[in-house]
């Protein structure tokens, strides 16, 4: 539990049940977690349990505490070894949070393109952070004739109570550059062999988004790189003509959720169109379909492409939502502190305004619980004590909070 965090307010919440409705051929007796009408009601899941899973049989009662308030508009957070937090503000500043408040902006953060969905995005501590003090962060980088998602490294140096970033350098750039303000992604996750997974978007517009299918383009991909930004050894497309060697998987839309599970594997959740948010377990060299196949429809109401949800050679999501949850932030829960959630993926919901908790067994979703927080959730992290920390945001900007969820005392 963070030692330097000031507790501001406390309430007790428990997970609530949604309004019952008939399950989609789900053998479990509980009601499905999502009860609103689908945007694409004629689309059918590819297999049982791919959407609208049953609710969990048991739901925890958790205490919600506001541990930091009046923060700038945040996009991400990491918990430092001493319990303080380092946070990224969308407009381009990084802060250390202690005693419930954000400290001064850290020097050494590069300029960001913060219009629209751009800004300072995710932060990841190096696996050897306690000794190296290295951090990695993604951001929408202003470039000639546009912008793009980039990854930088820096050393967090603290002297006489002042923290700065030193030796900041961009180690990886998503290419091509595009003049737009949407679908930058991006999350960073270190695997067990110090491999760094980087998720990015396909820039949203119809012209560039088709490049999610193009191995020569960096749009709509998961990358796997080393800490110098080079293709990680064993990547699936190394040596393949006209393919970027940093690519791990492709055919993705806009991934703002990524986490490593207890087996060292990457899970992602990406924003779909109107309906079609999807959970994936991206595997080396596989094609996840966007925009050729997808669940959901265009925001305009029409079909995406031919309206197909399956095609040979393209992977099905492990799970999808229609209507959407607006996923952002993801954590794998492997603690005994909240026993009901052990073995679950916890997703921050922007649209659903709370946590979405997926119980995973044999790589399938067996239940979906909703923990309402009445706020857009931008990031989720697990503390060393098993508490769940959630970063809130206000639509259109405004202030953020950091919430802590822990079992009742």
Question: Which of the residues are catalytic?
Answer: 183
Q: How far apart are CA 229 and CA 171, in angstroms?
A: 5
Q: Considering only CA atoms, which of 262, 317, 315, 319 is closest in space to residue 286? A: 315
User: Who contacts 42 (Cβ-Cβ below 8 Å, separation ≥6)?
Assistant: none
- Compute the C-alpha angle 238/286/188, nearest 5°: 75
In DSSP notation, 159-211 reads ETTEEEEEEEEEEEE-SS-BS-SS-----EEE-TTS-EEEE-B--SSHHHHGG
**What are the CB-based long-range contacts (under 8 Å, 24+) for 42-50?**
43/295, 43/296, 43/309, 43/322, 44/309, 45/320, 46/309, 46/310, 46/316, 47/316, 48/24, 49/319, 49/364, 49/365, 49/366, 50/316, 50/317, 50/318, 50/319, 50/320, 50/365
Contact 218, 174 (CB under 8 A): yes
Report DSSP state, residue 240.
-
Evaluate whether 249 touches 321 at the Cβ level (below 8 Å).
no
Q: Is 330 in a helix, a strand, or coil? A: strand
Q: Which two tokens stand for residue 166?
A: 């030193």
Going 60 to 61 to 63 to 66, the CA torsion angle's sign is positive
Taking the C-alpha atoms of 154, 155, 156 and 157 in order, what is their torsion angle to the nearest 10 degrees?
A: -140
Residue 402: name the closest of 60, 15, 11, 72 by CA: 72
How far apart are alpha carbons 358 and 332 in whole angstroms? 10
Nearest-5° angle of CA 356, CA 362, CA 363? 50
| Cβ-contact 258, 249 below 8 angstroms | no
CA-based max dimension of the chain:
62
Q: Which DSSP symbol is given to 55?
A: P
């Amino acid at each position: 539990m963070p030692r330097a965090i000031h507790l501001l307010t406390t309430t007790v919440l428990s997970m609530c049940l949604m309004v019952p409705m008939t399950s989609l051929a789900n053998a479990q007796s509980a009601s499905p977690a999502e009860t609103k009408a689908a945007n694409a009601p004629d689309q059918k899941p590819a297999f049982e349990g791919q959407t609208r899973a049953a609710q969990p049989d048991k739901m925890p009662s958790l205490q919600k505490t506001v541990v930091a308030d009046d923060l700038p508009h945040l996009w991400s957070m990491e918990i430092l070894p001493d319990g303080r937090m380092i946070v990224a503000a969308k407009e381009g500043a990084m802060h250390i949070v202690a005693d419930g408040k954000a400290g001064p902006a850290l020097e050494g953060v590069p300029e960001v393109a913060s219009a629209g969905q751009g800004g300072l995005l995710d932060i990841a501590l190096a696996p050897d952070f306690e000794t190296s003090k290295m951090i990695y962060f993604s951001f929408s980088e202003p470039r000639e004739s546009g912008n793009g998602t980039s990854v930088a490294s820096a050393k967090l140096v603290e002297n006489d109570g002042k923290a700065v970033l030193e030796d900041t350098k961009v180690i990886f750039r998503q290419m091509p550059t595009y003049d737009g303000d949407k679908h930058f992604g991006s999350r960073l996750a270190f695997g067990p062999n110090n491999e760094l997974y980087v998720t990015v978007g396909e820039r949203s517009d119809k012209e560039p988004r088709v490049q999610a299918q193009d191995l020569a383009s960096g749009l709509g991909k998961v990358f796997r790189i080393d800490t110098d930004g080079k293709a990680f050894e064993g990547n699936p497309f190394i040596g393949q003509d006209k393919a970027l060697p940093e690519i791990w998987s492709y055919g993705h839309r806009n991934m703002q959720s990524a986490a490593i599970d207890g087996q060292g594997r990457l899970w992602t959740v990406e924003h779909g169109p109107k309906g079609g948010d999807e959970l994936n377990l991206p595997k080396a060299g596989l094609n996840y379909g966007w925009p050729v196949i997808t669940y959901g429809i265009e925001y305009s109401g029409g079909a995406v492409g031919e309206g197909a949800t399956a095609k040979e050679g393209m992977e099905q999501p492990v799970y999808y939502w229609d209507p959407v949850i607006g996923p952002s932030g993801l954590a794998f829960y492997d603690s005994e502190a909240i026993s009901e959630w052990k073995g679950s993926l916890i997703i921050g919901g922007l649209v659903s305004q709370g946590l979405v908790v997926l119980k995973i067994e044999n790589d399938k979703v067996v239940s979906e619980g909703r923990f309402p927080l009445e706020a857009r959730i931008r990031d989720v992290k697990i503390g060393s004590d098993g508490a769940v920390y959630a970063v809130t945001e206000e639509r259109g900007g405004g202030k953020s909070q950091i919430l802590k969820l822990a079992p009742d005392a």
